[in-house]
Structure 1
């Protein structure tokens, strides 16, 4: 089997590479070649199955080279984060929209439809969210990145209907814990909070303790991406886009979980200086249920303690012993 990952050297991409190299199989078949595309690939491990294809996905020649010998499964993770795409519209347009459409056009030329897993985003819903959601919310993007993700979802569904792709799109929430200050995401404070607490360094959080968000660890995210690829066509029931289950947690709940794991003495590390605009956009997420996705095997991190452990122990890394905490599973 030949598997392609775009954005392979990104935060999520690197962990997906490690997980696939560790398991060595996908969809019941051995992975013979793992093709990885990104502008820089130096952080990835040495492995005979890796085929490194350095380059930018906005360059058609890079995508054509990646697909020259055919692929069976594609994980399309490459993209420009929301804050950067908002500042530089042309960059976001070329990367998040045009490159995604070009990839799908090239995949159409294959003799048989490839499985395409597209990393979409909860940004498709916009800011004006209802009091409760079930994964069927209206799409009203408030940021360019959300508008582009919605457009790609539509193209993926159409090409899957035509039998030219076997597409699956999953809408990701904020995924933690990203390296400090490198994400370009407006929700980057969620990772910064975890990282500061673990390093035992002060952190001024730009939202209030009451701010609520949809949280997911990178370990859980990678498991959901693989689950999307594993689904068989007869289980899709004509659906091609899913809202993933999430943990809806307040910043205060996350801090309590960190205190339970790392000690009360660290609580004073965290102070708050709320940014009203940021909190309005990224601190008022309602409860969300995703029964259709859960029925297909997608999952969240269960509870805040598991979220923290999974966020700080990415795929491919041994789990380190931490204090045991009894926390009831979330019903979100």
Structure 2
């Protein structure tokens, strides 16, 4: 199978590439080639991986990435929530205009590819029930959420017309992300754990009882692989899925940090208040009815201790070698 991944040099993109190279979509569905379209080259060194260094907003770059006629296109690249809010035109250009450009270029291909579009729980906002049903209409309260909601509609419409075989995956907040903080309003969710475990001070800018919908990186990647390979007939008319996650509050996350990382790590986290972050993050729902995606085989983490342990296990060899 031939794969294209926008944002293939990023955190999720590179992990998805590694997983697909290793296991494909199953024993009988191996990956022959993967093209990464990103602003920098993909860090994975494998003869099956080709990097197209460019922009998803540039038609020539997108055409080059799709030139081999992919079977599956993963659209992960986006301007994140904080930057989208601060730079309206940039967010609109990348999250909306470039998504349509990608779909238009896919439309020109001889065979309609599966397109997996990663969306966000940020498409929701306003008054919400305790558990968000699958049928709840999006009401984004941020520029990022608005752009993702528009992208969802485009993917569904291009699928209805038969131009692509699309599926939208609304990802939970991914935690714990390694590396430096990014421009996402939810960046603190990883930072309040990652930095203290590295001996650095950190902050939690939202109330400790804020409900967050969380997925570990490994679980998110497993679900994205399933989305790329699942039969179209299993999806029905509704091509949008709220991917499974677990509900956890910052207070519960810090309890996990103390259990697994010690009291000293917990003490490095200061409870603060950032209205800019709160306006975005506190508008997001904290729990979803995921009975349909679970029935389709999508999975969730067991508990937050397991999520944090996954990060600590992965980070330990890097700390030792450093």
Task: Give the TM-score, by structure 1 length.
Answer: 0.89
SS of aligned partner of 2:255: helix
Provide Cα deviations, 1:48-89, integer angstroms capped at 9, x if missing partner: 101111111111000011112211101100110011111112
C-alpha deviation, 1:319, in angstroms: 9.1
Task: Give unmatched runs, 5+ long, in structure 1.
Answer: 321-332
Q: Distance in 2 between matches of 1:57 and 1:297?
A: 31
After superposition, residues 42-121 of structure 1 pair within 5 angstroms as: 44-121=43-120
- For the pair 1:30 / 2:30, whether they are aligned, the reply is yes
Given that 2:185 and 2:280 are in contact with CA atoms closer than 8 Å, whether structure 1 keeps it comes out as no
Q: Distance in 2 between matches of 1:265 and 1:290?
A: 37
C-alpha deviation, 1:306, in angstroms: 1.5
Aligned alpha-carbon RMSD (Å): 2.2
Q: Partner of 1:138 in structure 2?
A: 137
Q: Partner of 2:159 in structure 1?
A: 160
Greater Cα shift, 227-236 or 22-31: 22-31
1:244–1:124 CA distance, 2 compared to 1 (3 A): same
- For the pair 1:207 / 2:216, whether they are aligned, the reply is no
Given that 1:130 and 1:286 are in contact with CA atoms closer than 8 Å, whether structure 2 keeps it comes out as no
SS of aligned partner of 2:186: helix
Q: Distance in 2 between matches of 1:186 and 1:127?
A: 18
- For the pair 1:264 / 2:281, whether they are aligned, the reply is no
After superposition, residues 119-134 of structure 1 pair within 5 angstroms as: 119-134=118-133
Given that 2:242 and 2:288 are in contact with CA atoms closer than 8 Å, whether structure 1 keeps it comes out as no
Q: Distance in 2 between matches of 1:146 and 1:169?
A: 14
Q: Distance in 2 between matches of 1:106 and 1:172?
A: 25
1:187–1:221 CA distance, 2 compared to 1 (3 A): same
C-alpha deviation, 1:103, in angstroms: 0.8
After superposition, residues 288-327 of structure 1 pair within 5 angstroms as: 288-312=288-312
Q: Distance in 1 between matches of 2:45 and 2:65?
A: 19
C-alpha deviation, 1:247, in angstroms: 1.0
C-alpha deviation, 1:242, in angstroms: 0.6
Q: Partner of 2:234 in structure 1?
A: 235
Given that 1:177 and 1:312 are in contact with CA atoms closer than 8 Å, whether structure 2 keeps it comes out as no
Task: Give the TM-score, by structure 2 length.
Answer: 0.91
SS of aligned partner of 2:238: coil
- For the pair 1:8 / 2:8, whether they are aligned, the reply is yes
1:12–1:270 CA distance, 2 compared to 1 (3 A): same
C-alpha deviation, 1:182, in angstroms: 3.5
Provide Cα deviations, 1:114-164, integer angstroms capped at 9, x if missing partner: 010000111111243333212332211111121111111112111212222
SS of aligned partner of 2:3: strand
SS of aligned partner of 1:204: strand
Matched residue count = 317
Provide Cα deviations, 1:23-65, integer angstroms capped at 9, x if missing partner: 24569422111111101115x1211101111111111000011
Given that 1:34 and 1:49 are in contact with CA atoms closer than 8 Å, whether structure 2 keeps it comes out as yes
Q: Distance in 1 between matches of 2:52 and 2:38?
A: 7
C-alpha deviation, 1:193, in angstroms: 0.8
Greater Cα shift, 250-259 or 53-62: 250-259
SS of aligned partner of 1:186: coil
C-alpha deviation, 1:180, in angstroms: 5.5
Greater Cα shift, 240-249 or 197-206: 197-206
Given that 2:52 and 2:65 are in contact with CA atoms closer than 8 Å, whether structure 1 keeps it comes out as yes
Task: Give unmatched runs, 5+ long, in structure 2.
Answer: none
Q: Distance in 1 between matches of 2:180 and 2:97?
A: 27
Given that 2:214 and 2:248 are in contact with CA atoms closer than 8 Å, whether structure 1 keeps it comes out as yes
SS of aligned partner of 2:73: strand
